[in-house]
Structure 1
């Protein structure tokens, strides 16, 4: 509880630690005497205020950490955008094991009106003691038994047998094989995924309890497979599960000629499933299949059986649907009535055909398709996925069909005056600004994609967000007669980095933009040009409709 000061002019602060929150007494009271113990070596402190502070007054002289020799030992100090909190990072090398430090907040910190804190405040904290690295045997049922302790990971690794694992503070940090389940660390539910072992180059992120195939590990990182690419996450965000301890595993299967993904939860030991699209011809009903990226499949014996890309997951958002506004409106009405009929006892779907925020959007979606060059069904599929068919609380109360400005760590209730203004915000502030233009900050391909390609890399923490949204687009098309599936575009993937995408079929034409990395998804408009070495593609940039790439740098992909 916060003790109120008799004067409301003073700033009240609190420490938000990784594992606990300590709210300081009123400024007129004595400094706190309790001491935090067993603090992590990479501890970041956050100080929160009841007033916005003057950021100029927040510096190494007004807030800092001293070691036992009165030497400053903190890292970067950052003021939050609202100026009501300050974070103090640990030193680059981390705090030393078993050492005691003191966090100082001085009255040099001022609020925006220039009023300082009434007194200095201090907080002592002691860093955890180092643990031992224990070699363990891993039994056939996944249980472990202690073998021997070592004072360093390197010493344990030197003596490790191929069938054994290494534990640190009762957590496995190395296993022969198995899976990794991501876990929250401190107040952050997200796990950053990096391209380097040093964990300095973030590529994407996933939510807690995401299952990833284990490749290797050290005492600081875990190498995992993310959508077909080997990348790295922190040990702090990892729970390693040996192969023998796995009680279930995510898989793909065929149901009614459609591809179904069943995701296993290690915490609840249950499966949840969703439909992606049409099943590849090489799959058989009643069989299980595995895939790390949803395109390259093996059987349960880990033998490769085929490759197939879900069409709507890899179709450019710049494409156009063949359906009219009237057909889209008719679909929305039919879909909502179907939800009412199929789930009569579900409160969410009751009176769906009267209250959904999707009703009557056909004309506006087609208008956006023409003016902003975003497929109308692409937007509708995203709205269905993010807003439970326009029936979610955010859709109903805030006209927010897409969860805009809502993150895993900050579920902001952002209001929009109309659903049309919400769609405008999605297109102008997100999709057409940051995701589709080739040189935009989050550009990884103009498709729904996954955690290695497309919008999914930076838009959503769910690694299967792209596949789920594509599943909605597939079902929309199927319910309206499947016209978009019948008249498929050809799709491809680039195979080289630094690839120029030109305004005409030849090197003499200007480059409209460049793909800096290989593996970019493209939608092919014509691969039978008079200029045989060139193919016509759909532009990722809204400034062009059609562009050209040399045939040698594109691999057509099989779609279903």
Structure 2
């Protein structure tokens, strides 16, 4: 090759190299297929257009890929246009591609290294670490570090209060809001690695907040303002109930302990108060939820397993009744369902026993037809919430008498004496126990009932003609068609509710207690069948009935309607009687059409171990394979009082039993659903169960 040809080849090579460098330097357009339809598509595209995020050599942007510390250093350096910096880390060499960005964020005080003088550039950055970095970004941008508290359900997963505070500061600027749970609560997933699209969203929202940020006004000194009246200082007092009113004593106590000493010294006192709030009262009292949002909208009261409010047990509807056990100035100990837990004073009201009127509380009775009727009372609104039939009344109940129960299973008379236990069949029957009724029978029943209830507008009901869809879901997903229908009746007022009519949402999906819009974003369905499919697949078969689902294990409390200790009711609805009401609709349907499904199975069971996992096996022997494992969990207030009481663990429907290896083994419906050909049954040892027998 002569010199001229060599020169031509060299020039061509340099032109190609230069072209490639230019191409890599220019922010690329993201692939439409890659980002279109993503929840964070807008934020991702905006950051790509701004050059904050650059693509890979294959033209992709990989929105779901994890972000390393070095990559985030590059993102935030570009977003803030940080000046050059310097730093010295043993694992960052100056010839590394992203080293200049690491030096920039270090000099700016946005990110730092570790105690061993490393930066760990290739380590993924968690969401918790991202919040700490974003707090430093706000500080660098001279923006006020104002907090907006969000009660994340996984608060105990944070590394400490510093990172929790950083998340609250980010929330104040709408940089983050967490992940919505199906029950209306919010989680944060602090230990999860941050994805590229999440990082793009955090930075995009920060830039929007920065653009609209108005620094706090610092007023110039002027004429002195007139002095404000002294604040009202709350003091502890002891109080008595007189003529159904709480009357405070005249003595004020500086501390709760001093008031408690006076209260304990004189049994005539009925309560300790702090301002207008009752802090402590005697046994026999009632607690009820009175939480509201910052705008005054009634909200739910969270019940925690621990006194520090770190681990959520369940939650309860505004105004609904809880059993009062004890309290101090930090917490209130209550019972919801069979679960004993702790609630905050700020979300709960106490009603001393002397102020409780017989007709102003939840109560049960036996109707003249032999049914179990439950009348519920809303204490915050001071009115009866409604009455429903749950099934047949137990034999120990007498017509005309009043009974009380906090879990709908263990009952007391009006003197507070335990009189018996009764497990409503349909409330704890597995959703895998399929119905005997056809689509035609279901449709005929619905038409008749909605004509009775809505004679002029019955044809508008969204339940009309739903029978084929319900039986299709029963066949494909192995979920009882009547249970789906019963829930739809309960949640949508026979298909006539606003959400049913406008959103094809029969089940209140993605509608929490404080939602006030027309249709929730994820709960607006093209057809009724789409809404039914979402309930069955996403909620029943994934969130609430899959014991193998490691992403949402706390949702799985058993594959039955249940109550606030076991079953769907724990996490699906704030109404503590939601499961009982749905079961009541199923019972009514079955009785009116011949009773083909009621007590088809003669035994239902609850797992009875606390704080120990339980295996369900493929055959009745410990040598067989494990089908799935029930995680250890609280089984409620009655676990230690057999045989007259039931431990309300996971509910199971028994279809067969065998004696093997010295144990009685029970064949049960499998909670776990994979597809229509997957295992329908599993086996569990009898000594792990409390058995409920039906005649």
TM-score range, shorter chain: 0.7 to 0.9
Asked if the contact 1:308–1:559 (Cα under 8 Å) also holds between the matched residues in 2, the reply is no
Separation in 2 of the partners of 1:310 and 1:199?
A: 32
Any idea what SS the aligned residue of 2:598 has? helix
**Native 8 Å contact 1:109 1:117 kept in 2:** no
How big is the shift at 1:214? 1.2
Residues 1:364 and 2:469 are matched in the alignment: yes
Give 1:539's aligned residue. 670
Structure 1 range deviating more: 77-86 or 209-218: 77-86
2:286 to 176, 179, 188: 179
More off after superposition, 135-144 vs 55-64? 55-64
Query: Among 630, 634, 650, which residue is 1:515 paired with?
Result: 630
Task: Please give the alpha-carbon distance, in whole angstroms, between the structure 2 residues aligned to 1:330 and 1:203.
Answer: 41
Cα distance, 1:86 vs. partner?
6.6
Report the equivalent of 2:78.
none
What is residue 32 of structure 1 aligned with on the other side? none
Q: Aligned equivalents of 2:273 and 2:480: distance in 1?
A: 50
CA deviation after TM superposition for structure 1 residue 59, in Å:
3.7
Q: Work out whether residues 60 and 77 of structure 1, in 8 Å CA contact, stay in contact via their aligned partners in 2.
A: no
What is the alpha-carbon distance in structure 2 between the residues aligned to residue 138 and residue 153 of structure 1?
A: 20
The answer for the alignment partner of 2:76 in structure 1 is none
**Structure 1 gap segments, 5+ residues each:** 1-53, 67-71, 89-107, 345-349
Write the distance in 2 (CA, Å) between the matches of 1:226 and 1:535: 30
Asked if 1 retains the 8 angstrom alpha-carbon contact of 2:411 and 2:419, the reply is yes
Q: 1:158 to 1:60 in 2, by over 3 A?
A: farther
Matched, 1:76 2:166: yes
Residue matched to 2:524: 415
- Aligned match for 1:134, one of 222, 237, 247: 237
User: Cα distance, 1:405 vs. partner?
Assistant: 1.4
The structural deviation recorded for 1:358 is 1.3
If the length of structure 2 is used for normalisation, what is the TM-score? 0.63
**1:366 offset after TM fit, Å?**
1.1
User: Does the 8 Å CA contact 2:548/2:672 hold for their aligned counterparts?
Assistant: no
Contact 1:254 1:286 survives alignment (8 Å): yes
Pair 80,421 (structure 1): closer, same or farther in 2 beyond 3 Å: farther
Describe the SS at the equivalent of 1:231: strand
Q: Return closer, same or farther for 1:235/1:336 CA change in 2, 3 Å cut-off.
A: same
Matches for 1:338-487 after TM superposition, within 5 Å: 338-340=452-454, 344=455, 350-352=456-458, 354-412=459-517, 413=519, 414-440=523-549, 441=552, 442-487=555-600
2:30 alignment partner in structure 1? none
Instruction: Give the direction of change, closer, same or farther, for the CA distance of 1:153–1:87 in structure 2 (3 Å limit).
Output: farther
Check whether the contact 1:189–1:207 (CA below 8 A) recurs between aligned residues: yes
Question: Are residue 151 (structure 1) and residue 254 (structure 2) matched?
Answer: yes
In the aligned structure 2, how far is the partner of 1:81 from the partner of 1:512? Answer: 42
Instruction: Work out whether residues 59 and 77 of structure 1, in 8 Å CA contact, stay in contact via their aligned partners in 2.
Output: no
**Could you tell me how far 1:480 is from its partner in structure 2?**
1.4
The structural deviation recorded for 1:77 is 3.3
- CA contact 1:64–1:74 (8 Å) conserved in 2: no
> 2:144 corresponds to which residue?
63
Relative distance call for 1:117 and 1:109 in structure 2 (3 A) is: farther
Q: Secondary structure at the match of 1:364?
A: helix
Q: CA deviation at 1:196?
A: 1.0
The answer to whether the 8 A contact 1:372-1:427 is kept is: yes
Residue 163 of structure 1, CA deviation: 3.6
Return closer, same or farther for 1:484/1:168 CA change in 2, 3 Å cut-off: same
State which drifts further: 324-333 or 251-260: 324-333
Deviation at 1:323, TM superposition (A): 1.1
Deviation string, structure 1 residues 480-512 (Cα, Å, up to 9, x no partner): 111001523420011123111111110111111
- CA offsets per residue over residues 107-147 of structure 1, 9 Å max, x none? x99765797346523599xx977522112233463432314
The structure-2 alpha-carbon separation of the partners of 1:453 and 1:87, relative to structure 1 and needing over 3 Å to count, comes to closer
User: What residue is the counterpart of 2:79 in the other structure?
Assistant: none
Contact 2:135 2:169 in 1 (8 A): no
Q: In structure 1, the residue corresponding to 2:252 is in which secondary structure?
A: strand
**Pairs aligned (count):** 473
Bigger CA drift: 483-492 or 175-184? 483-492
- Measured after TM superposition, the shift of residue 338 of structure 1 is 2.7
Q: Distance in 2 between matches of 1:83 and 1:75?
A: 13
User: What residue number does 2:86 align with?
Assistant: none
- Confirm or deny that 1:251 pairs with 2:350: no
Measure, in 2, the Cα distance between the counterparts of 1:541 and 1:109: 41
Q: Which moved more, 1:184-193 or 1:379-388?
A: 184-193
TM-score (norm 1): 0.78
Q: Which of 312, 319, 326 pairs up with 1:216? A: 326
Larger radius of gyration: 2
Q: Do the aligned partners of 2:558 and 2:651 also contact (CA within 8 Å) in 1?
A: yes
Question: Is residue 194 from structure 1 mapped to residue 331 from structure 2 by the alignment?
Answer: no
Aligned-pair Cα RMSD in Å: 3.1
- In the alignment, structure 2 segments of 5+ residues that lack a partner are 1-132, 148-161, 179-202, 220-229, 636-648
Q: Which stretch shows the higher mean deviation, 155-164 or 281-290?
A: 155-164
Would the aligned equivalents of 2:599 and 2:694 in 1 still touch at CA under 8 Å?
no
Please point out which of 300, 317, 336 is paired with 1:226.
336
Q: Tell me the alpha carbon deviations over residues 393-422 of structure 1, each in whole angstroms, 9 at most, x when there is no partner.
A: 221222111111111122450421110111
1:505 paired with 2:654, answer no
**SS of match in other structure, 2:690:** strand
The separation in 2 between residues aligned to 1:118 and 1:541, in whole angstroms, is: 50
Q: Does structure 2 conserve the Cα–Cα contact (< 8 Å) formed by 1:55 and 1:83? A: no
| Structure 1 contact 134–156 (Cα < 8 Å) conserved | yes
* Residues 273-300 of structure 1, C-alpha deviations (whole Å, 9 max, x = no match): 1111111111111111111111111111
Aligned to 2:476, the other structure's residue is in SS state helix
Report the equivalent of 1:167.
273
Q: Which has the higher helix share?
A: 2
C-alpha deviation, 1:334, in angstroms:
2.1
